[in-house]
Amino acid sequence: MNLWQRIRRKLKSNPVETVDAHTGYERWASKYKDEDNPLLSLEKNAIQTLLPNLNKLNILDFGCGVGREIKMMENRGAGFVAGIDFSFNMLTEAKSQLHVENNSKLIQANGLFLPFVKDSFEVVLSSFVMGYIEQLGEALKEIVRVTRSGGIILISDFHPFGIIIGWNRSFLEWRGNNYKEFRIRNYVHLQEDYFRIFKEANLKLEEIREPRIDDSVKHFFDRTPKGHETYKQSVGYPAVLIFKLSKP
């Protein structure tokens, strides 16, 4: 556990301010690469099994952040990976983290207006992004537009159950003589919302996963007594929602 995480877990209470996703990630970027949490772990394990053979395929990482998924897809033989994100600072961190960039390109872009022509990619991955976008349908229309016929779309995010019971994405900043917590605004998209949009876009739902808090992530919670209690209260609850789709 890094120093930032130790400090964060020792705090009992902090002033809290809610910020929009762009503002939040511009400010969180320099520390985000060190983030390590149970949801990321659960999502990573599931995504690894859902991805198709990436050999020589063109792939879009929709909301690439600091480039974690780009690294993974390059290692799995992707032909070309385009990473888009609306945060300049997150992309700057991604550039510093990626050691193999010959087959990758990072672009600052709005996910509602993707800078690609129709049918550009065989695979599109969107990891923990859709909850930041209020216009869910518009974002998915853009993803479908740039996906080739026969292509695969993978979408993951906070499970709506977690959002409803109060889980949030937040970070800390030192202000004066204390830390202040910044929570990033998140929109709740229920499974019904996704299903309706998938149907409108004529997408085929290949598989749905709902990874739950289980023993595989218990070590994240066992770092503090409070975390251990949280684990006991959360074990068995769905934490991540993942869709695997295909475009006819």
This prediction's pTM: 0.90
Contacts of 45 (CB under 8 A, 6+ apart): 211, 216
Question: What percentage of the chain has pLDDT greater than the value 90?
Answer: 66
Distance CA 93, CA 83 (A): 13
| Strand blocks (E) in 20-136 | 58-62, 80-85, 104-108, 121-127
Going by C-beta distance under 8 Å and a sequence separation of 6 or more, which residues neighbour residue 165?
none
Q: Which of 205, 134, 171, 238 is nearest to 27 (CA)?
A: 171
Mean pLDDT of 184-207: 95
Q: How do residues 54-112 score in pLDDT, each as one tens digit? A: 999 999 999 999 999 998 998 898 999 999 999 999 999 999 877 655 678 999 999 99
Supply 124's token pair. Answer: 């599109």
CATH number for 35-160+187-246: choose from 3.40.640.10, 3.40.50.720, 3.40.50.150, 3.65.10.10: 3.40.50.150
- pLDDT of amino acid 117: 97
The span from the first CA to the last CA of the chain, in angstroms, equals: 44
Whether residue 47 contacts residue 70, with contact meaning beta carbons closer than 8 Å, is answered with no
DSSP-based helix, strand, coil % in the chain, nearest 5 = 40, 30, 35
Per-residue pLDDT at 99: 62
Please give the Cα distance from 199 to 196 (Å, whole number): 5
Alpha carbon distance 170, 133 (integer Å)? 17
Nearest to 155 by CA among 47, 31, 9, 26: 47
Phi/psi at 224 (nearest 5 deg)? -140, 155
Contacts of 142 (CB under 8 A, 6+ apart): 111, 112, 113, 114
Query: What are φ and ψ of residue 122, in 5° steps?
Result: -85, -25
pLDDT given for residue 1 in this prediction: 42
Q: Which of 61-75, 86-100, 183-197, 231-245 has the lowest mean pLDDT?
A: 86-100
Domain boundaries, the chain: 35-160+187-246
Mean local confidence (pLDDT), 16-43:
89
Neighbour tally for 2: CB within 10 Å? 11
Q: DSSP secondary structure string, 108-140?
A: E--TTS-SS-TT-EEEEEEES-GGG-S-HHHHH
Question: In Å, how far are 41, 124, 131, 213, 231 from 239, measured between CA atoms?
Answer: 11, 22, 13, 6, 12
